[in-house]
Amino acid sequence: MPGESMNAKPPPAFPVPSLMGRAVRDAYRKGQEDEALEPIVLADAEGNPLGRPEEGDAIVFYDIRGEREVELTRSLTDENFPHFPVKKGLSLHFVTMIEYSPQLRVKVAFPPNERLSGTLTEVLTRAGCKVVKISESEKAVHVGFFFNGRREEPFPGEHRIVVPSPPGDVSYARRPEMSAQDVCREILSALDDETADVIVANLANVDVVGHLESREAVLTAVETVDFVLGRIAEAAERKRAALVVTADHGTVEDWLYDDGSINTGHTRNRVPFLVADFRFPRPESVRLAPEGELADAAPTALTMLGIRRPAEMNGRSLVDTVSNDGTPRRSRLLFLVLDGWGMREEIRGNMIAQARTPNFDRLWSRYPRALLQAAGEAVGMPAGTVGNSEAGHLHLGAGRRVPLDRVRIDRSIEDGSFASNAAFREATDAARRRGRALHLMGIVSHYSSHGTLEHLFALLRLARDSGLERVFIHGFIGRRGEIPESGAVYVDKVEEECLRLGCGRVVTVMGRFWPLDREENWDRVRKAYEAIVFGRGTLVRSSKEDGGSG
């Protein structure tokens, strides 16, 4: 339900496992897991796949995050799609819940509000600063698109360096170091470049590896980031640049549930914010407020650089304008995001506290520090919800609270306007007039950053009330912040709701690893496309007695 935490355990399973739910459990018994579950496809008694998109059908992709949904959407909407063979002539009436990319030829149910202006990067570049952004490809969209207020193209004066993440592995458990050393080299090179005024960089390991269940890999990820942090801090001090270290949300500092099972999701804990202003003779004497939120980071950086912040940036600066005795040697600043590095005092389940982090510990004890709120209302989400990388980077760069799409959609369901949404109505009306099917596609989860069952259920109610008889669901599962084998629970709950409403049927289930790529791993996207369109996957034969309409 809206307002609940993404890392809350799922509710009890549907008492009678559904047909597709049983198929998912069969895959578990064969050694598969939610994230990379091979596609499962519903078929009739003769083995013919059911519920595949046909010419003129309508599709609603109801995910809400966006950057991981672009590639699959392109494959389904671009007749000249170049990366693998696609079915010609589908001419789908395609609707996305939010805008995934302005270049997509789709209808958007909840188009973006007015574009954010006056973000940190925009203000810096307008002031004549050269801004260098550095990340590995796993987090490039966050340091670029989200940090810039959901702006895809760089600002004049902004230079982006993307280091490739290790390719090919389903899991980073075998490569927890990722590309941190290469990112470090790029940061050190940028510090050597005297024309680089501001460097914004991200170390991805803790968040990315924290979604796995390997204690050894998580500890290695934390310690890799700490080692790289030490090298970066030494270089910043040598170059006499101001160093700001923070995070976008928490992850592995709260890695265990109370019963000892692993929490692979994000957390609601606060994140670090420390300032080591090596431009001054006594960087430890900077006066810093002890508490704040992510939206305070950008105003703080501008205050440190002596640049006036715009009126729309209403976060507060955590440093005084006269916070140090003396004049900075030059206005250079390194803004470093330790992705997923949360703060929590309790040792149990705290993988950051259990790892060896001498460099972070030294900086945290020596230099001015604060704790920032990075979840819930502080990052534009419903109260009590966990943070995520998208909201985190958006607020770090925006310098203000930005209500997120989830809040808008939840409110529209509550006030009834969801059912009259023009894009949804156009799709359902077109399907009804032409006698075509409606396909609902997206994450199947209690409360993921990509979406929630409540949005799917609202669409099912809309389809029922529109009189549609053929409604097919293509669901993506993936255990992030859930107990093991939770995907089958959610598939059961979706099929239960379909039976209750007398509308809809789950016809495809697969792990989110295949459809929700963002690094042009087209072999993964192809597997998802071929499962949805051609019904390629493990076939589950049904009969009339299995229930469900469509």
Statement to judge: residues 390 and 479 lie in one domain: no
Which H/E stretch holds residue 464? helix 453-465
pLDDT of 18? 87
Whether 8 maps to a domain, the answer reads no
Statement to judge: residues 60 and 97 lie in one domain: yes
pLDDT of 87? 95
Statement to judge: residues 393 and 326 lie in one domain: yes
Statement to judge: residues 417 and 385 lie in one domain: no
Nearest Cα residue to 531 out of 108, 87, 93, 61: 87
Nearest Cα residue to 260 out of 191, 213, 225: 213
Two tokens, residue 519? 């690094």
**Is the CA virtual torsion 441, 446, 452, 454 positive or negative?**
positive
Which H/E stretch holds residue 539? strand 538-541
Please give the tally of structural domains in the chain. 2
Statement to judge: residues 238 and 341 lie in one domain: yes
Nearest Cα residue to 463 out of 487, 432, 493, 491: 432
pLDDT of 404? 86
Q: Residue 480: give its domain's CATH number.
A: 3.40.1450
Statement to judge: residues 209 and 81 lie in one domain: no
Distance CA 192, CA 196 (A): 8
Q: Which residues contact 103 (CB under 8 A, 6 or more apart)?
A: none
Whether 2 maps to a domain, the answer reads no
Statement to judge: residues 324 and 470 lie in one domain: no
Whether 200 maps to a domain, the answer reads yes
Whether 13 maps to a domain, the answer reads no
How many other CB atoms are there within 10 angstroms of residue 218's CB atom?
27
Domain boundary among the residues 340, 366, 401 is at 401
Nearest Cα residue to 342 out of 383, 304, 374, 367: 374
Statement to judge: residues 410 and 393 lie in one domain: no
Q: Residue 133: give its domain's CATH number.
A: 3.40.720.10
Distance CA 190, CA 455 (A): 44
Domain boundary among the residues 401, 422, 447 is at 401
Whether 193 maps to a domain, the answer reads yes
Whether 488 maps to a domain, the answer reads yes
Whether 487 maps to a domain, the answer reads yes
Domain boundary among the residues 348, 381, 401 is at 401
pLDDT of 6? 42
Cβ–Cβ < 8 Å for 481, 263: yes
Q: What is the span of the domain harbouring residue 259?
A: 120-401
Total length of the chain: 550
Residue 409, helix vs strand vs coil: helix
pLDDT of 216? 97
Statement to judge: residues 67 and 127 lie in one domain: no
Intervals of the chain under pLDDT 50: 1-15, 322-323, 326-329, 547-550
Statement to judge: residues 333 and 473 lie in one domain: no
Cβ–Cβ < 8 Å for 404, 267: no
pLDDT of 322? 45
pLDDT of 25? 96
Whether 4 maps to a domain, the answer reads no
The bridge status of strand 242-246 relative to strand 271-277 is: antiparallel
Statement to judge: residues 422 and 472 lie in one domain: yes
Statement to judge: residues 307 and 391 lie in one domain: yes
